[in-house]
């Protein structure tokens, strides 16, 4: 990454956006790695477990729209502080009062949705500091906060084994508090921040067919990433009999792959074009998920294909948001909220759907094949619209030759 990138924007804000996003994602995803232990203690069915891990995803999806609007009207930094305080209070109540029923897990998931909504704060906060030619890298670095899922997958099951899963909520307060202090101290709103958008601007954006295409594309890439990340601990436990800690390590390998590839996917899209790289990533992810759907006998083989699929989905996340600022630069706050919401809805459907299919059919095969089919549909959809994009808004962007 050349020196011009680091001189183009505001590095402390970029770091703050990444850290805020990273720790927010860690707690947003917390119920996923703890799912097997919680389900065992509370006697939850596979479907209930699936809905439990999917609830924070859906709440985060819906709240992203609200947080995007708040970031637009108040400022990304102010919205981030408010969201972080709500998450800290949610975890504090869960730790002190306890989570003792299925209904309690759903209420906790609703509160953790504010952590998932951090997406609508971190990306505009970082993006507004950088010119178009560096958008892929800036959005990729800020969006690499997806790596918070890795920390949750690696540490949460082990900490739950040592201290009990209820106390994991209390332990999470330590890094969250430190992050909030750093965010307040280091982050700054861009002086060229676009004027606030009204509610009608969201409705106007939805009238643009490109908005729906971007929402669909991200519902597959990010929805696939977070949906699989939430479902994989249960999948590896059910399918291969792995204990919660080992299943957490397997899952951590998958989510690490997807998280690391997000900034690289943005940088690759800057170099070869967002459409070209996204087409390639959809193909990889769909193929690998379809292969896993054949119920491979080896957990190592399944892990290999899941890791490869997550590489594709992670890079796809970066590619989508390399394209978004080019098409919707002035509406970036609105579109980040809408597209982020769509990604969360996709993740909810995948995580809850895999649990429901497991409950009613006995395995995950149909769910995995349905998701692979969505990846193929996204490939054909993108291929279909690329000519129009390249001859309209893509032609006038600074990266037109590579869109």
pLDDT band per the 50, 70, 90 thresholds, residue 69: confident
Dig out the tokens for 401 from the structure.
């030759």
Long-range own/partner contacts, residues 366-375 (CB < 8 A, 24 or more apart) = 368/289, 368/290, 368/292, 368/293, 369/289, 369/290, 369/293, 371/224, 371/227, 371/289, 372/286, 372/287, 372/289, 372/290, 372/293, 373/286, 374/220, 375/220, 375/224, 375/282, 375/283, 375/285, 375/286, 375/289
- Render pLDDT for 215-224 as a digit per residue (tens, 0 to 9): 999 999 999 9
Asked if residue 148 lies in contact with residue 21, where contact means CB atoms within 8 angstroms, the answer is: yes
Give CA torsion, residues 138, 273, 223, 184, to 10 deg: 10
Residue boundaries of the structural domains of the chain? 9-189+199-402
Query: Residue 373's Cα: distance from chain center in Å?
Result: 20
pLDDT of amino acid 395: 47
The dihedral region occupied by 194, where left means phi > 0, alpha psi between -120 and 50, and beta the remainder, is beta
**Neighbour-count burial for 364-389, b at 16+ CB within 10 Å, e otherwise:** beebbebbbebbbebbeebeeebeeb
Dig out the tokens for 73 from the structure.
């009207």
Lowest mean pLDDT among 33-47, 134-148, 157-171, 379-393: 134-148
The third-level CATH classification (topology) of the domain covering 9-189+199-402 is Growth Hormone; Chain: A; (1.20.1250)
pLDDT of amino acid 371: 95
pLDDT of amino acid 270: 79
Whether the predicted pLDDT of 116 surpasses 50: yes
- Render pLDDT for 257-312 as a digit per residue (tens, 0 to 9): 988 887 788 778 878 888 888 999 999 999 999 999 999 999 999 999 999 999 99
pLDDT of amino acid 175: 94
Q: How far apart are CA 313 and CA 298, in angstroms?
A: 23
With residues binned 3-state (H G I as helix, E B as strand, rest as coil), the percentages for the chain, rounded to 5, are 85, 0, 15
Burial class (CB in 10 A: 0-12, 13-18, 19+), 214: buried
pLDDT of amino acid 376: 95
pLDDT band per the 50, 70, 90 thresholds, residue 397: very low
Average pLDDT, the chain: 87
Whether the predicted pLDDT of 178 surpasses 90: yes
- What pTM was computed for the model? 0.82
Question: Which distant-in-sequence residues (6+ apart) come within 8 Å of 73 by Cβ?
Answer: 196, 197
Residue 191 is classified by DSSP as: T
């Amino acid at each position: 990454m050349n020196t011009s990138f680091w001189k183009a924007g505001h590095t402390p804000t970029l770091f703050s956006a990444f850290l805020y996003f990273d720790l927010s994602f860690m707690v947003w995803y917390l119920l996923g790695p703890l799912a097997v232990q919680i389900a065992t203690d509370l006697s939850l069915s596979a479907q209930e477990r699936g809905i439990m891990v999917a609830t924070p995803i859906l709440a985060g999806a819906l709240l992203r729209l609200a947080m995007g609007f708040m970031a637009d009207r108040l400022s990304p930094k102010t919205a981030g502080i408010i969201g972080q305080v709500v998450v800290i209070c949610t975890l504090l109540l869960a730790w002190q009062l306890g989570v003792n029923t299925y209904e309690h897990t759903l209420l906790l998931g609703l509160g953790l949705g504010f952590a998932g909504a951090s997406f609508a704060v971190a990306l505009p906060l970082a993006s507004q500091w950088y010119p178009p030619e560096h958008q892929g890298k800036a959005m990729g670095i800020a969006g690499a906060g997806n790596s918070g899922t890795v920390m949750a997958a690696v540490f949460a099951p082990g900490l739950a084994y040592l201290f009990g899963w209820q106390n994991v909520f209390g332990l999470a307060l330590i890094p969250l508090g430190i992050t909030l202090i750093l965010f307040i101290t280091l982050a700054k709103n861009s002086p060229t921040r676009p004027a606030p958008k009204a509610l009608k601007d969201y409705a106007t954006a939805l009238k643009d067919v490109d908005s729906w295409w971007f929402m669909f594309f991200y519902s597959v890439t990010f929805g696939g990433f977070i949906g699989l990340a939430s479902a994989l601990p249960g999948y590896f436990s059910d399918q291969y009999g792995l204990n919660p800690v080992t299943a957490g390590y397997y899952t951590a390998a998958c989510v690490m792959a997807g998280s690391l590839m997000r900034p690289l996917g943005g940088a690759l899209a800057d170099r070869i074009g967002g459409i070209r790289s996204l087409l390639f990533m959809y193909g990889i992810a769909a193929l690998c998920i379809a292969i896993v759907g054949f119920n491979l006998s080896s957990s190592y083989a399944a892990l290999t294909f899941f890791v490869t699929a997550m590489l594709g989905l992670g890079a796809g996340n970066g590619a989508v948001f390399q394209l978004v600022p080019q098409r919707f630069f002035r509406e970036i706050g609105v579109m980040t909220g809408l597209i982020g919401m769509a990604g969360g809805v996709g993740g909810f459907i995948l995580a809850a759907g895999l649990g429901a299919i497991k409950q009613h059919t006995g395995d995950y095969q149909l769910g995995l094949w349905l998701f692979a089919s969505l990846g193929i549909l996204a490939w054909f959809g993108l291929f279909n619209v690329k000519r129009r994009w390249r001859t309209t808004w893509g032609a006038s962007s600074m990266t037109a030759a590579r869109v």
